[in-house]
Chains A and B, each alone.
Chain A
Amino acid sequence: MSRRRRRRIVLGSQYAVFVAVIVVLAATADWGSLHENFANVPVAKGLFPTIITVGLRNTVIYTLSGFTAGLAGGLLIALMRLSSVPPYRWLASAYIEIFRGLPAVLIFIFVGTGVPLAFPGSNIPGGVYGSAALALGLISAAYMAETIRAGIQAVPKGQMEAARSLGMSYGRAMVSIVIPQAFRIVIPPLTNELVLLVKDSSLALFIGISLEQRDLAKFGQDLAGEKANSTPIIMAGLCYLIVTIPLGYLARRLETRQRRAQR
C-alpha cells in the first residue's frame, strides 16, 4: 500500500467515526428535554439580577480578599525562604510543602469548622468573608511564595550590590530596588494564580454561608434545586468563564510581552 493511500484511509476513517458519533447523538438525544433542562430561557431570566448582585459579587469579593491575603503572606514567606537565618527558611519550606500538599477543601473545612470547634466563643474577624479570605489566603500564599521567591532571585545580583554601595541597608534595598523589579517579573504568574483563586473561591460553601453570602457555585446549586432545573448551573458556569477566560488570556499576553521585552 502506498503511503499516500494509507494516509487517506487513516484520515478518512477518523472523520467517518466523528460524523457517525454526531449523527447518533443528534438522532437519539431528546432535544426538547435538553433545551428545557439546560437552556431554559424563563429560568435563566429569573436568575437576574441576583446571580450578578449576589453570586458574582461574592465570588469577586472572596477572590480578591483571598488574593490580597495570599499576596501579603506569600511575600512574607518568600522573604523567610531567602533569609540567612536557617529556622526561618525551614519554617517557610515546611509551610509551602504542607499547604501545597493539602486539598483546598480540607483547608476550608478546617477554617470553617475546625477553628470554631477548637476555640469556642472566639470569632475569625470578618465572619464568613474573613474566613474565606483566610482560607484562600493560606492556600494561595504557599503557591505565591514560590513564585515571588523565583521573581526576587531573577533580579540580577548587581542591583543589590549597587543599592548597598549607595549606603542602603539590606532591607531598604529589598523594598526600594529588588521587590519592585521582582513584582514586575511575577505579574504574569500571579495573574494565573488569580484565575485559580476565582475557581477555588467556590469552596466558600464549606464554611457555611448565608443566602446573602452565596458565591456563584453555591447560588447555581441552590437555584437548580429550587427550580428543579439545571439552567442555573450552566449560567453560573458562564459567569465564571466570563471572568476566567479573559484573565487567562491577559496572563498569556503579559507573559509574551515580558519575554519579548527581555531580549
Chain B
Amino acid sequence: MIELRDLHKSFGTLEVLRGVSLDVAQGEVVCVIGPSGSGKSTLLRCVNLLEEPTNGTVTVAGAELTDPDVDIDAARRRIGMVFQQFNLFPHLTALDNVAIAQRKVLKRGREEAARTARDNLERVGLADKVDSYPAQLSGGQQQRVAIARSLAMDPAVMLFDEPTSALDPELVGDVLGVMRKLALDGMTMLVVTHEMSFAREVADRVVFMDGGVLVESGPPAQVIGAPREARTRTFLSRILDPARTPAPE
C-alpha cells in the first residue's frame, strides 16, 4: 500500500534521510521508533509529500506521488495524516472540522457531510462534542477529532506523527485506544511513536531509525524484545528505563 524507495531528503547541507526504503502492506500496522532527530517525522511527512524528497520515489495506493505529473491533491485525499499538534481548525466546531474537507474536496452535500462527520466523531467516542470548538476540548479530545477528520475522507492509509507526544499522560490512553480499534478494523497505518507498549501490542512490524537510515526492522517481539543492533539496544534502554541511563561523559 505504501512503497518508499531510496528516499533522500536534505535541508540545506543537512541530510536528514539517507536512503530509506520501506513497504507497508494493506492492513499492516508499522511503528517507526528512534531517537529525536533520526528523521522519522521527516520520513512520515515525505509519504504525503508535505516534505518533498530530494531523491527517491513514494508510491501510495498505486499512485506515485513523486511523479511531477500526478495530481497531488487527489493523491492526498487517500492519505490520512494525524499531527503531533493536532492542527484542528480553531474557527470551526468539531463537526465542521470533520465536515469541511468532505464538502470542499469530496463535494459531498451538507447533510451527507454532517452525517459522516457525526458517525466518525461517534467512532472516536466524541458523539457529545459535535458542537464544541477545539479550544473547549482537552488535548486528547482534540486529537480524536483530528483522527475523525482524516477518517471521514475514507483514506486508504493513515499516517500518525507522534500523535500522543503533546498530550498529558492521563489523556494518552484514549487516543491510543482509538488507534488500536482502527488497527483491529484493518486500517493500513504508519505510526511514528515513542509509545513502546502500543508498538509492542498493536504493530505488525517495528522499524528502528537512526541517523536518517533504517537500522532494524521486524516483528515487535524481536525489535523491542530482543534487538540485534547495538544502536537499537542503547535507544531502548534509554527510553524504557530513563533513570538508569548512564550520565553522558
> Which residue, A167, A176, A184, has most C-beta atoms of chain B within 10 A?
A167
Give a binary string over B59-95; 1 marks a CB under 8 Å from any A CB, 0 the rest: 0000000000000011011011101010111110000
- A164 interface hit (Cβ, 8 Å): yes
B81 touches A168 (CB 8 A): no
Q: Which residues of A contact B83 (CB under 8 A)?
A: 158, 161-162
Give me 9 other A-B pairs in contact (C-beta within 8 A), A166-B77, A184-B91 excluded. Answer: A158-B87, A162-B88, A163-B101, A165-B76, A165-B80, A166-B105, A166-B149, A168-B105, A176-B104
B73 touches A169 (CB 8 A): yes
A166 touches B91 (CB 8 A): no
A165 touches B48 (CB 8 A): yes
- A50 interface hit (Cβ, 8 Å): no
Q: Which residue of A lies closest to B84 (CB)?
A: A158
A177 touches B105 (CB 8 A): no
Q: CB within 8 Å of B: which of A163-189?
A: 163-169, 172, 176-177, 180-181, 184
- B116 interface hit (Cβ, 8 Å): no
Which of B74, B79, B87, B146 is within 8 Å of A159, CB to CB?
B87
22 contacts between A and B (CB under 8 A): A158-B83, A159-B87, A161-B83, A161-B87, A162-B81, A162-B89, A162-B146, A163-B89, A163-B101, A164-B73, A165-B50, A165-B80, A166-B77, A166-B149, A167-B73, A167-B74, A167-B76, A167-B77, A167-B101, A168-B104, A177-B100, A181-B90
A161 touches B105 (CB 8 A): no
The CA of A80 and the CA of B139, in the complex, are separated in Å by: 36
Give B85 Cβ to nearest chain A Cβ, in Å. 6
Q: How many residues of A contact B (CB 8 A)?
A: 18
Q: How many residues of B contact A (CB 8 A)?
A: 25
The CA of A165 and the CA of B100, in the complex, are separated in Å by: 13
The CA of A123 and the CA of B208, in the complex, are separated in Å by: 72
A166 touches B85 (CB 8 A): no
Which of B48, B91, B153 is within 8 Å of A180, CB to CB?
B91
Which of A156, A172, A184 is within 8 Å of B104, CB to CB?
A172
The CA of A193 and the CA of B90, in the complex, are separated in Å by: 26
- B193 interface hit (Cβ, 8 Å): no
Give B45 Cβ to nearest chain A Cβ, in Å. 8
- B150 interface hit (Cβ, 8 Å): yes
Give A143 Cβ to nearest chain B Cβ, in Å. 25
Q: Which residues of B contact A161 (CB under 8 A)?
A: 50, 83, 87
B101 touches A181 (CB 8 A): no
Give A28 Cβ to nearest chain B Cβ, in Å. 61
Q: Which residues of A contact B91 (CB under 8 A)?
A: 180-181, 184
A176 touches B100 (CB 8 A): yes
The CA of A180 and the CA of B100, in the complex, are separated in Å by: 13
Give B172 Cβ to nearest chain A Cβ, in Å. 20
The 4 residue pairs across chains A and B that have the minimum distance between CB atoms: A167-B77, A166-B101, A162-B87, A165-B81
The CA of A180 and the CA of B74, in the complex, are separated in Å by: 24
> Which residue, B74, B101, B106, has most C-beta atoms of chain A within 10 A?
B101
Q: Which residues of B contact A184 (CB under 8 A)?
A: 91
The CA of A163 and the CA of B92, in the complex, are separated in Å by: 13
Give A162 Cβ to nearest chain B Cβ, in Å. 4
The CA of A163 and the CA of B48, in the complex, are separated in Å by: 12
B105 touches A172 (CB 8 A): yes
Q: Which residues of B contact A176 (CB under 8 A)?
A: 100, 104
A168 touches B73 (CB 8 A): yes
Give B202 Cβ to nearest chain A Cβ, in Å. 22
Q: Which residues of B contact A163 (CB under 8 A)?
A: 89, 101
A166 touches B153 (CB 8 A): yes
Give a binary string over B11-27; 1 marks a CB under 8 Å from any A CB, 0 the rest: 00000000000000000
